[in-house]
């Protein structure tokens, strides 16, 4: 499970309202709903505003829950993980697009990682050790919908190696597996600068993703 946010564009739920200029049509509409058009419009806008504020509050609450956990890369407690995933599920239910994989063009472009539930299986000691000297900076993902590909760039610094700065690039492809999910296949990774100790460390991690 990943949460990505685009630095350039945010998609918010919205609805489209249209009206016709025919006075006779307006008159029939007024009679059928038994209320002035201005009242109906106000109530409709109020409901939409309430829904919009609710979604904004959910997003804010989720982002507050993600503070201080380094995007979950080095692990979180079972209670934290359960709470975060519950918040994510509630937010997903508000998505007006019922079949997201039919509209993948909406995720085209560059995104920034906020949270990942990726686990490093069988390497808990290594994972805890990495937390002490590796600092993750930006974690970016570029999605190319036409080619069904994604490029991930993880920027990092290593305090144990004279504050070495570098970047790990991961190339992956994906296929649609359901109306709401895609299956990702990691293909290759490269790291710069090519320091052997740092490179081997990250390569061991990525084999477990």
In a domain, 32, yes or no: no
Buried b (16+ CB within 10 A) or exposed e, 143-161: beeeeeebebebebebeeb
pLDDT at 160: 63
What pLDDT, on the 0 to 100 scale, is given for residue 132?
64
In a domain, 129, yes or no: yes
In a domain, 86, yes or no: no
Residue 163 inside a domain? The answer is yes
What is the residue range of 111's domain?
Answer: 105-206
- Chunked into runs of 10 residues, the chain (209 residues) has average pLDDT values of 51 35 33 39 48 81 88 82 92 89 94 77 46 76 94 81 77 93 89 63 50
Q: Is residue 62 part of a domain?
A: no
The total of structural domains in the chain comes to 1
In 3D space, the residue among 91, 94, 66 whose CA is nearest the CA of residue 80 turns out to be 66
Q: Scanning the structure block, which residue is given the tokens 């900076």?
A: 137
Given CA atoms 65, 70, 72, 76 in this order, what sign does their dihedral have?
A: negative
Residue 140 belongs to a domain: yes
Residue 175 in domain: yes
Whether residue 81 lies inside any domain: the answer is no
Task: Look at residue 90 in the predicted model and tell me its pLDDT.
Answer: 92
Measured on CA atoms in the order 123, 127, 129, 134, is the torsion positive or negative?
positive
Residue located via tokens 């997201």:
100
């Amino acid at each position: 499970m990943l949460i990505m946010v685009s630095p350039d564009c945010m998609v918010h739920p919205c609805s489209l309202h249209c009206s016709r200029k025919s006075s006779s049509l307006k008159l029939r509409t007024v009679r059928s709903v038994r209320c002035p058009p201005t009242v109906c419009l106000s109530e409709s806008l109020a409901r939409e505003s309430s829904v919009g504020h609710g979604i904004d509050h959910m997003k804010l609450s989720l982002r507050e829950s993600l503070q201080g956990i380094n995007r979950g890369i080095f692990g979180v407690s079972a209670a934290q993980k359960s709470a975060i995933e519950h918040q994510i599920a509630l937010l997903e239910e508000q998505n007006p697009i019922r079949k997201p994989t039919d509209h993948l063009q909406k995720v085209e472009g560059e995104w920034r990682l906020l949270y990942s539930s990726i686990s490093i299986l069988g390497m808990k000691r290594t994972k805890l050790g990495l937390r002490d000297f590796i600092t993750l900076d930006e974690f970016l993902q570029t999605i190319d919908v036409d080619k069904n590909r994604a490029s991930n760039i993880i920027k990092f610094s290593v305090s144990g190696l004279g504050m070495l700065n570098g970047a790990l690039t991961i190339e992956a492809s994906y296929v649609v597996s359901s109306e709401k999910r895609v299956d990702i296949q990691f293909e290759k990774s490269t790291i710069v600068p090519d320091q052997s100790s740092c490179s081997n460390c990250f390569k061991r991690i990525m084999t477990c993703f």
